[in-house]
A = this chain, B = another copy of it.
Amino acid sequence: MTRRIDRRSALKFGLAGLGAAMAVPVAARAEARPTPRATGDLGLIIERAVGRVRIVETTGRTVLHTIEGLGDLSHASAVFSRDERFAYVFGRDGGLTQVDMLEGRIVNRVVQGGNSIGGAISQDGRLVAVSNYKPGGVKIFDADTLALVADIPAAYEGSTEQSKTVGLVDAPEQKFVFSLYDAGETWLVDMSDPAKPAVTKFKGIGKLPYDGLITGDGRHYVAGLFGEDGLAMLDLWAPENGVKRILGGYGKGDKPLPVYKMPHLEGWAEADGKLFLPAVGRHEILAVERGSWREVGRVKAHSQPVFVMARPDGRHLWVNYAHPDNDTIEVIDVKTLSVVKTLKPGPAVLHMEFTPRGEHVWVSVRDLDMVLVYDTRTFEVLARLPMDKPSGIFFTARAHRTGL
């Protein structure tokens, strides 16, 4: 742990006040302060086994800070404040931790539920929402203080317990959307007035929605169904039309394969006017036309896809796979729907994150204890950063996007 500035120093040196400043020699003070640093090229990497995160920068490809004490980080994810100053890390143990990306320290941490599964930040950056398995429901916090602003219990007909909530995303105009795993519902929450959350409930969307995605423009919300075939789609430009079933065959096939790992719907991609989705239990990626929601192509893949990620220019998809084939990444050309490159980064490739304009991709290789950085044009490895069981990688440019 380095370079961090504790509250006292901030007090001493900042705009805010100065207490014992007179006692400190001038030169030492100047030294102790970081030079100004911009935040557009920063990122946060989860070290899942040790409850730790690393703050990195993608220009020189180095680690700037190491921060301990974030609890259980298996399946952890993060979102960013609108100025890119703070990350909000959602831990599996219900912990919500606000991390200062510049000073490399925890600013605030609450354990808000018993078992949580991701979160989202409102369009204006003032509200952070967390989705809970236990006790269920969604809680919404003030992004500055982590004070509770709204508690939305996922009560539903026929049960005294709350439903697990999944697929929580932010949407334009201060909305959040999520689904109720046990209840088979999708809820749209309007937080324009934080004191009065307005909840619209869509019931009977299908059995056991297990994850959700929202398109980059925040228009189409799609939930995956564990209990039946097809996907449940809500058009936020026409919520009065309700949730519709699309891709009726999605989830089955004539020769179903054992499902080693439920594909993340976060691991879908949008490119060339199409959505690309991992085919459940099959060695395939589905290309689906947006709007008509018809399947327009399939790509034969190495194994069962987990994350299908589009390079930001949409020309290539980078795909990783489920155990036991998780040492491999395939790069697929979106124009021809064919594999153009196979990479073997090492055992247990867990996550990939592109630099915002797509020139590089950072790859977590858990059992190699390493993050690799690839040039996406030449496929050359540009850097190897040792990390302890790295998983999720999150760059600050996400601050400026919807539904991430």
Contacts and interface: CB of A to CB of B under 8 A. Distances in A.
A220 to B, nearest CB: 11
Interface in A47-61: 57-59
A36 B102 contact: yes
Contact of A172 (B13, B123, B313): B313
Q: Could you say how many copies of this chain the assembly holds?
A: 2
Nearest to A377: B173
B83 A36 contact: no
Nearest to A59: B83
B40 A357 contact: no
A237 B101 CA distance: 37
A39 interface: yes
B401 A357 contact: yes
Interface stretch (A19-27, A107-115, A204-212, A278-286): A19-27
A339 interface: no
Contacts of A217: 271-272, 312-315
Nearest to A172: B313
Interface residues of A, number: 72
Contacts of A359: 123-124, 173-174
B172 A315 contact: yes
Given A83-B38, A397-B400, A30 B13 contact: yes
A102 B38 CA distance: 7
Contacts of A10: 35-36
Contacts of A248: none
B237 A315 contact: yes
A13 B33 contact: yes
Interface string A379-404: 00000000000000000110111100
Nearest to A33: B13
Contacts of A5: 35-36
A84 B21 contact: no
A59 B85 CA distance: 12
14 contacts: A10-B35, A13-B35, A21-B26, A36-B103, A39-B39, A39-B40, A82-B356, A82-B357, A124-B357, A124-B359, A217-B272, A217-B313, A356-B400, A400-B400
Interface of A: 5, 7, 10-16, 18, 21-22, 26-27, 29-31, 33-41, 57-59, 80-85, 101-103, 123-125, 172-174, 192, 217-219, 237-238, 271-273, 290-291, 312-315, 335, 355-359, 377, 396-397, 399-402
